[in-house]
Structure 1
Amino acid sequence: MNSEVLTAKLARREGRQVESAEELLHRVSGALGEVERRYGGDEAAVRRWTARYRALMEENRFWPSGRILNNSGTRQGQLASCFVLPLSDDFGSVFDTLKSAAGCHRSGGGTGFDLTPLRERGAPISTAEAGGASGPVSWLRLFDAETHVVAQGGKMRGANLASLSVRHPDIMEFIDAKRVVGRLHNFNISVAMDDAFMRAVEAREEIELVGPVPGRKARRIAATEIWQRVCENAWRTGDPGVLFVDAINRANPLLDHLGPIRTTNPCGEQTLYPYEASNLGSLNLAAFLLPDRSGIDWELLRETVGDAVRLLDSAIDASRYPEPRITEMARANRRLGLGVMGYADLLIALGVRYDSEDALGLIDRLGGVIRDSAWQASEALAQERGAYPNWPHSGRPTPARNCAITTIAPTGTISMVAGCSSGIEPRFAPVWNKDVLRSDGVSYADEDLVGELQQHAGLERGEALELLRHKPVDELPLPAHVTAPYRYAHEIPATWHVRTVARWQMYTDNAVSKTVNLPQACGADDVSDAFLEAWRLGCKGLSVYREGSRDRDLLTASHVTREPEPPRQSKRLTGEL
């Protein structure tokens, strides 16, 4: 546990007094343990679960999200990391949602919006003197401004995601919304694509754009024209990503009762209904390595999953949400976001390459154990605390406490606290800088590789670091079997990034958030290949990031990169796919 990061990022402050790491763990575990009283637990039960929750963190096995760590046991008490808020084609309701968004951002939560219900630019509106509707993108700028203003007065910058159906008449304007660097700085954007559209891309057919106002058909357009624009913009700026809405709803247990889910939280891992919220937390997979590094302590992993599910479920009850509609929806579905981090660390410790069949096999074992243990814990909680209210509509034969449990989230802050690799990402580089905490960022080195150089090459630490800054891994004075597992983000082919997402998705109730890192010299056709493969493999969505495609990267490797080339056109984009 990195106490310095924990207190710098998540400790409570009153004047000059800063909460210690010890006090933070006491506050968080105590507040969540107190939930036992709501379900008839006595003082002994409260003490028992308080101690178990604290042990999860002290032993570095599981960390709840920053919102839970920062806000548990405080007057604010808002513990959800993310929300989805509705937008309807009505002037007053848009501003009602704007107010709700400000409340979510003020408490540290991120928000997702589906813009599809908003009528297209120029469509008739009731105000006689108006020239027509301004379109979804104009409203997007309003929400971006709100986020900026609220962030200036709060502790952290708000985050948002906006999605738009690929069949909306303003889809091209939406795809281009972030083409200018710095525009809509507080938003990620994603295009919501259905299977029929994807088949039209493969067959080079046209689709019909249809306005949200009934009966307003806009025009027909080649599916590949939209696809090409998506891929070129993703190559240039990292936006838009893609959401595969049919894949999302094939796994949605409440589809028949509540209708389709249409969008996600800001990073794409939580597929949420309007007014639904979710709390997050992640298992540190590296913590379950056996002491002799021969394998995984599966029993400890199963036990930890069960305790983590109970902690996250208790956080729903302990949370004070920004408004009653969110409280009602959160408690009706009781959706959790139990994820993992430290995956790359575990692979290296076991001597497994990230881009290998052995890694996929390990995902099968890890994913299956986590999924099964999580649902067993939820079913046990349902017997103890009651099933979630919408369970009778889910089609699930056994009562469960939660409509969905597992997710794969990015774990920026809590992976720094745990001292492990983020989410299911590979390690970024042998030596890198992260743009956090200080104005010049924080420098990191792959300490395992540094240790290998010290052990096998007899180098001092400073000498090892200098070598890592100037030589690729395959040129280090180390045996090939030692360097084989050390695979970094930009060395891994895009297809293996996508295959990793798809394999984890097989065991994940919600969705998987992972960056597909692309080298600076790649082309837009490489983006196209990644998106197509993600759809074919059953992913619920995907985003890509080409090195150097934004004005400021959060992570930067120490090596020098080449100037970007213009996006290459290929038959896959302009003709055959």
Structure 2
Amino acid sequence: MFDSLASGTDTRFANKISHQIWDMKYRMKEADGTPVDLTVEDTWRRIARALASVEKDPGQWEDRFYAALEDFKYLPAGRITAGAGTGRAVTLFNCFVMGTIPDSMTGIFDNLKEAALTMQQGGGIGYDFSTIRPKGAEVKGVAADASGPLSFMDVWDAMCRTIMSAGSRRGAMMATMRCDHPDIEAFIEAKRDPLRLRMFNLSVLVTDTFMEAVKADGSWDLVFKGRVYKTVEARGLWDKIMRATFGYAEPGVIFIDRINKMNNLGYLETISATNPCGEQPLPPYGACLLGSINLARLVKNPFTPEAEIDLGALDELVRTAVRMMDNVVDASRFPLPQQEAEAKAKRRIGLGVTGLADALLLVGLRYGSEEAAVRTETWMKAIARSSYLASVDLAKEKGAFQFFDAEKYLASGNMMQMDDDVRAAVREHGIRNALLTSIAPTGTISLYAGNVSSGIEPVFAYAYKRKVLLPDGSRTEEEVVDYAVQLWRELHGDAPLPAHFVSAQTLAPLDHVRMQAAAQKWIDSSISKTINCPEDISFEDFVEIYMAAFDAGCKGCTTYRPNEVTGSVLSVETAKKEEQKPAALLPRDLSHPMPRHEALEGRTYKLKWEENAYYITVNDILDEAGVRRPFEVFINTKDVAAQSWIAALTLMISAVFRRGGDVSFVAEELQGVFDARGGQFLPGKGYVKSLVAAIGDVIDGHMREIGFIAGGRKLTKAELAEAKAAGQGAAAVPDLGRARAQRDGCPDYGNCDVVVENGCKTCKQCGWSACS
């Protein structure tokens, strides 16, 4: 334990990283940054008090809720932890699927407005774009052809960027499309362009009929409103999905018929979309909140033959967590009244787990083994039983959910496999929450809870280095150790880790599938899970993963394979080698600017912004290492109002360039500038949020074109040979960490180690997550 960096001492945190996550993301503070929560106990008390406040007797429940939160045993999702009891106008719900998009211009833009309002409060949203007519279809009454759903997805993407740029929580969206929509092939290929639809996760809604056609090598009709637009080979379309996912990790696959068949509310609703990470299939305007049981904290006698989950403690904790989550439905605000009505009518909650892999390690089982899968299924069934029985008790006390119909409910979805005593209790008393279980991404809250393994994922790395921001603004590098490894060290010192300590780096993909299927059996919603694949996996073996997931009863499948478009996952410390710095980044005396030559080579770019033209000239120099680098910038324009600030801007940029070193940050900083009056769309660029950002794009493009930073054009063999001969070869070596960070959205460009876990990109260095 360590002394808190806050006022007073807080010994609950196992390391500085966990404390930092709490301080940055979950600690309540005044508008000026003054802490309200002085310790994490204050945070737990704030949450417990807020969720107990909706009870008839709050005092009876506050201490029980606090006990569940204490020592990170029950982990409400980040929105609850950060927002409950703060009095702020925020939603405590994580997941939303928006209303069905009408096939009309008015309806489409009404839905866009609803999406903006939801994202403004921090909700992640999902949409099914299958309801929009395909590209080229007739638009009656206006003598025009439809632009298709992908064109409107571009508009959604720009809206999300605008909301994020305005200072709101990072937007997260899921777009789905049916496998029989006429534009499905364009949807599959959409993210081959690394700059398009970056605010979206994409998933294809795959039907059982389609999978049968794939296996039978049959034909497949692409249809919209009864009209067949095209007939393709089913296996050929499946191959396109697989090739895209193999090449750049999207789209994912959702087995939509299975989701609807296994839905407890199948008699009442049809699902066609999920939240951004896929663990919550939801109907139109569906909303769900999340929370996780920390299994690693419930293991008795770890690393001994008697090691096991304390099932009594698990039952009590689950029952308390269900009550807390049910209370969130009443305590939360909602972005839209339709979402509030849907949530309160069905009272969906998504209770899941985190620390599964660590719990398996503590009881001596190898993640991915058949024995581990059996144990996982046993634990998940125990959680399901306790959840449903707790919800029955709540129904006795507070009433069943609005649309409860005993006969229809017991004959649908997950209820069909429930034990007889649970079914009998539901029949007699009803049930408070229509659906209760889900396994969500837990990257940030798992780190906050002592770096337990995330969700049901394997341990990604047992130890890695992470930058820690200190109160004075400086950074220090700390080792982050997995919870099970830390406990092993405390009990066994430097003794080698047992053989069953496996990680995502060494697991076979089908081991992932086995674990996902084992957990899915007792989860009534779905699971956020990423199957990490080696870069050199064959395409045939890759396709087998998806077929195995379908045959094993999974509701979806998401894989991640390192590739040129999305980059590579985190490199483990033991596998890292000393990297030679590019010549452009070699240290030099920065106290004096580089001398200017009489003549410099450069390029001039024309930028059109609103009614004015701006001519941007970037001149380059060969530095001491013979590397071409930007040296100065000039901007000419007839826009009189802009001339003074442009002159100042170019003087400052040029001064920085002339000092040498890695100056690529200049373009990054400019690209991040947001104009409150709004940006505009530029050809080939999409939405650009300000004139300054557009200038940054030009400078960034120039630096890439000359090979100073990654992402520029590839050199020809002759150019590469010439560059090497001139000592410039290192300048063309991509800075993959920075390039990946810019692409994935991590704000800490210089310290980016992005991994994909639970279907969610997360930076292990700065704590940034695409899902929180």
Q: TM-score, normalised by structure 2?
A: 0.66
* Alpha-carbon separation, structure 2, partners of 1:64 and 1:126: 50
Say which one has the larger Rg: 2
* 1:432–1:555 Cα contact (<8 Å) kept: no
Q: Say which SS state the counterpart of residue 402 (structure 2) adopts.
A: coil
Query: Tell me, which stretches of 5 or more residues in structure 2 are unaligned?
Result: 1-12, 411-426, 578-733, 737-772
- Aligned position for 2:444: 413
1:432 to 433, 452, 464: 464
Q: In structure 2, what is the equivalent of residue 571 of structure 1? A: none
Residue 56 of structure 1 and its aligned partner are, at CA, apart by 1.5
* 2:192–2:565 CA contact under 8 A, matched in 1: no
Show CA shifts across 1:240-282 (max 9, x none). 0000011101111222322x21111110001100101000000
- Which letter does structure 1 place at the counterpart of 2:36? E
Matching residue of 1:569? none
Instruction: Report matched runs for 1:134-533 at 5 Å.
Output: 134-211=147-224, 214-258=225-269, 260-291=270-301, 294-392=307-405, 394-396=408-410, 397-398=427-428, 399-419=430-450, 420-432=452-464, 444-446=480-482, 448-449=484-485, 478=496, 482-533=497-548
Task: Name 2:116's counterpart in structure 1.
Answer: 102
Shift of 1:549: 5.2
Give, in whole Å, the separation in 1 of the partners of 2:50 and 2:150. Answer: 42
3-state SS of paired residue (2:531): strand
Q: How far has the Cα of 1:67 moved from its partner?
A: 0.8
**2:348–2:433 contact (8 Å) kept in structure 1:** yes
CA deviation vs aligned residue, 1:357-389 (integer Å, no higher than 9, x gap): 210121122011100000000000011111110
Q: Which amino acid aligns with 1:6?
A: W
Aligned length: 531
CA contact (8 A) 1:364 1:503 kept: yes
Whether 1:12 aligns to 2:53 is: no
State the alpha-carbon separation in 1 of the partners of residues 103 and 109 from structure 2: 11
Question: Among residues 70, 81, 84, which one is paired with 1:69 in the alignment?
Answer: 81
Give the whole-Å Cα distance in 1 for the aligned partners of 2:25 and 2:570.
18
2:58 to 46, 68, 72: 46
Once residues 63 and 134 of structure 1 are traced to their aligned partners in structure 2, the CA distance between those partners, rounded to angstroms, is: 45
SS at match of 1:395: helix
Distance 1:25 1:453 in 2: 29
| Closer, same or farther: CA 557–435 of 1 in aligned 2, 3 Å | farther
Amino acid at match of 1:407: S
CA distance in 1, matches of 2:301, 2:219: 58
What is the identity percentage for the equivalent residue pairs of Structure 1 and Structure 2? 36
- Alpha-carbon separation, structure 2, partners of 1:527 and 1:124: 39
Indicate the residue corresponding to 1:33 in structure 2: 52
TM-superposition CA deviations, 1:205-248 (whole Å, max 9, x none): 1111101xx33211110011111111111112211000001110
Aligned AA (2:238): W
**Structure 2 letter corresponding to 1:273:** P
Offset of 1:412 from its aligned partner? 1.5
Distance 1:297 1:244, change over 3 A: same
Q: Distance in 2 between matches of 1:432 and 1:317?
A: 41
Question: Post-superposition shift, 1:16?
Answer: 2.6
Contact 2:453 2:483 in 1 (8 A): no
Given that 1:433 and 1:557 are in contact with CA atoms closer than 8 Å, whether structure 2 keeps it comes out as no
1:451: Cα distance to partner?
7.3
**Change beyond 3 A, Cα 1:200–1:116:** same
Deviation at 1:512, TM superposition (A): 1.1
Q: Deviations over 1:161-196 (max 9, x none)?
A: 110000000001000111122321111100001111
Which aligned runs of 4 or more in structure 1 are off by greater than 6 angstroms? 434-442, 453-456
In the alignment, residue 280 of structure 1 is paired with which amino acid? L
555, 566, 579: which is aligned to 1:540?
Answer: 555
**Native 8 Å contact 1:505 1:511 kept in 2:** yes
Spell out, residue by residue over 1:279-316, the C-alpha distance to the aligned partner (whole angstroms, 9 max, x if none): 00000001111145521211000000000000110000
Q: Match for residue 700 of structure 2? A: none
Letter in 2 for 1:276: G
Q: In 1, distance between residues paired with 2:477 and 2:503?
A: 20
CA distance in 2: counterparts of 1:157 and 1:440, whole angstroms = 26
- Structure 1 residues 389, 448: closer, same or farther in 2, change over 3 A? closer
Contact 1:189–1:241 at 8 Å: present in 2 too? yes
Counterpart CA distance in 2 for 1:546 and 1:372 is 36
Measure the CA separation in 2 of the matches of 1:168 and 1:216.
11
Q: Say whether the 8 Å CA contact 1:241–1:544 is kept in structure 2.
A: yes
Q: Which amino acid aligns with 2:217?
A: R
**Contact persistence 1:263–1:271 (CA under 8 A):** yes
Question: What SS is found at the alignment partner of 1:113?
Answer: strand
The farther-off stretch of 389-398 and 220-229 is 389-398
Q: Secondary structure at the match of 1:377?
A: helix
Change (3 A) 1:94 1:343: same
One-letter amino acid of the counterpart of residue 12, structure 1 = M
Shift of 1:146: 1.1
Question: Counterpart of 1:124?
Answer: 138
Which SS does the other structure have where 2:253 is aligned?
A: strand
Post-superposition offset of 1:323 = 1.1
Write the distance in 1 (CA, Å) between the matches of 2:477 and 2:199.
20
Paired residue secondary structure (1:308): helix
Give the Cα–Cα distance (whole angstroms) in 2 for the partners of residues 88 and 404 of structure 1.
28
TM-score where L is the length of structure 1: 0.87
For residue 59 of structure 1, give the secondary structure of its aligned residue in structure 2. Answer: helix
Question: Match of 2:70, as an amino acid?
Answer: E
Q: CA contact under 8 A between 1:282 and 1:340: conserved in structure 2?
A: yes
Which of 126, 134, 143 is matched with 1:112 structurally?
126
Q: 1: distance between equivalents of 2:576 and 2:240?
A: 29
Conserved? CA contact 2:176–2:203, under 8 Å: yes
One-letter amino acid matched to 2:324 = L
C-alpha contact 1:31 1:72 (8 A) present in aligned 2 = yes
Give 1:455 deviation, angstroms: 8.2
The question of whether the paired residues in 2 share the 8 Å contact of 1:234 and 1:527 is answered with no
Name the CA distance, whole Å, in 1 between partners of 2:483 and 2:521.
Answer: 32
Letter in 1 for 2:95: C
SS of residue paired to 1:162: strand
- Which structure would you say has the larger RCO, counting Cα contacts within 8 Å and 6 or more residues apart? 1
Equivalent-residue separation in structure 1 for 2:376 and 2:437 (angstroms): 14
Q: Distance in 2 between matches of 1:437 and 1:331?
A: 41
SS for the counterpart of 2:559 is strand
Q: Which residue of 2 aligns with 1:470?
A: none
Distance 1:446 1:308, change over 3 A: closer
Structure-2 change in CA distance of 1:196 and 1:435 (3 Å): farther
After superposition, the CA RMSD in angstroms is 2.4
Aligned amino acid, residue 80 of structure 2: I
Return the offset for 1:3.
3.5
CA distance in 1, matches of 2:504, 2:192: 25
Q: Which amino acid is 1:226 matched to?
A: L
